[in-house]
């Protein structure tokens, strides 16, 4: 039997997981990459972006300047190395070079990616030399890294349905906890909860006291209704909800 955890700690953890499941993750669904390390007087700009399958490096060179797409016996070809995050290189770098191996103008270099774990973070280095007809500048190495951006806040109050054994002191304390954190709680019981009520809320929190506090009471947690909303099921009754309905997750007592 899991020991009881402090109310604020475990409830906050449960709600954080539910918010992630509801699509309110702090990580942006379209990750932004920053590029650092370019000398202020360099004759080009470099930007980067990626999706789940490709890293794109866009080099915009001033007229008369070029990069090297391959080894031509002089200068340093462009090299992109994945150094961190949840992706690895899945192939070779593709460079839009001419017959002489030169990259000029505005060019997009692509590197295929494969995901190694969940998430969208990526870190890489881009190394190259930029040259004109007379000279090559010192080698440049840029750092490319994901910047986490916050998702937009919900347009209205975030609605949480609190399903409890009864509307007693424990239930009112949890409802007050939710309200104090800017959420809009609605309280119901296991006996009265319906699919329609669950679907009308962004998250459903199915609460449970300890086993000794519910032993002998007629609480049919296994009849918990189906819902499209994420469900956080906690404690002894929450385990029954999980087993019967395959809901989102379960955690310790709150």
Statement to judge: residues 113 and 188 lie in one domain: no
Same domain, 131 and 50: yes
Q: State whether residue 242 is helix, strand or coil.
A: helix
CATH number, domain of 73, equals 2.60.40.1250
- Given 91, 126, 147, the domain boundary residue is 147
Residue 3 has pLDDT above 50, yes or no: no
Backbone phi, then psi, for 148, in 5-degree steps? -70, 130
Both 161 and 244 in one domain: the answer is yes
At residue 254, the pLDDT reads 43
Same domain, 142 and 185: no
Provide mean pLDDT across the span 74-103: 94
Tell me the residue ranges of DSSP E strands in the chain: 32-36, 44-50, 54-61, 67-68, 79-85, 87-89, 102-103, 106-115, 122-128, 140-147, 158-164, 183-189, 203-206, 231-234, 249-251
Q: Is residue 120 part of a domain?
A: yes
- Of the three residues 120, 147, 174, the one that is the final residue of a domain is 147
Question: 96 lies in which domain range?
Answer: 32-147
Give the range among 37-46, 119-128, 204-213, 221-230 with minimum mean pLDDT: 204-213
36 and 140 both lie in a single domain: yes
Number of domains observed in the structure of the chain:
2
Cα angle for residues 183, 251, 23 (degrees, 5° grid): 45
The answer to whether residues 11 and 61 belong to one domain is no
Model confidence at 132, pLDDT cuts 50, 70, 90, reads very high
Q: Residue 142 pLDDT > 70, yes or no? A: yes
Indicate whether 195 and 138 sit together in one domain. Answer: no
- Which DSSP letter does residue 76 get? -
220 belongs to a structural domain: yes
pLDDT for 168-225, tens place per residue? Answer: 888 888 888 888 888 889 998 888 888 888 888 888 888 777 655 566 566 666 678 8
Residue 1 domain flag: no
54-68, 166-180, 217-231: which has the minimum mean pLDDT?
A: 217-231
Instruction: Specify the higher pLDDT residue, 210 or 4.
Output: 210
Percent of the chain with pLDDT over 90: 41
Residue from 155, 139, 222, 208 nearest 1 by CA:
208
Of 147, 180, 201, the residue that ends a domain is 147
Q: Is residue 226 part of a domain?
A: yes
Domain match, 222 and 162 both: yes
Q: Do 100 and 205 lie in a common domain?
A: no
Percent of the chain past pLDDT 70, that is, above it, reads: 71
Q: Is the pLDDT of residue 35 over 90?
A: yes
- Indicate yes or no: pTM above 0.75: no
């Amino acid at each position: 039997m899991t020991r009881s955890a402090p109310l604020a700690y475990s409830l906050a953890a449960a709600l954080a997981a539910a918010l992630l499941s509801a699509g309110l993750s702090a990580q942006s669904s379209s990750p932004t990459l920053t590029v650092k390390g370019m000398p202020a007087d360099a004759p080009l700009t470099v930007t980067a972006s990626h999706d789940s399958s490709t890293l794109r490096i866009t080099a915009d060179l001033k007229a008369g300047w070029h990069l090297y797409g391959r080894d031509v016996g002089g200068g340093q070809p462009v090299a992109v190395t994945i150094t961190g995050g949840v992706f690895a290189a899945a192939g070779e770098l593709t460079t839009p070079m001419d017959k002489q191996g030169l990259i000029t103008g505005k060019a997009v270099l692509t590197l295929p990616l494969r995901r190694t774990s969940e998430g969208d973070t990526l870190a890489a280095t881009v190394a190259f030399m930029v040259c004109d007809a007379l000279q090559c500048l010192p080698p440049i190495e840029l750092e490319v890294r994901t910047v986490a951006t916050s998702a937009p806040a919900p347009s209205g109050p975030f609605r949480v349905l609190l399903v409890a054994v009864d509307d007693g002191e424990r239930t009112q304390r949890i409802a007050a906890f939710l309200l104090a954190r800017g959420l809009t709680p609605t309280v119901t019981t296991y006996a009265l909860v319906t699919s329609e009520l669950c679907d009308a809320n962004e998250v459903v929190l199915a609460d449970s006291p300890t086993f000794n506090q519910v032993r002998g009471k007629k609480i049919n947690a296994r009849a918990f209704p189906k819902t499209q909303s994420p469900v956080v099921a906690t404690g002894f009754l929450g385990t029954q909800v999980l087993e019967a309905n395959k809901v989102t997750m379960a955690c310790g007592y709150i």
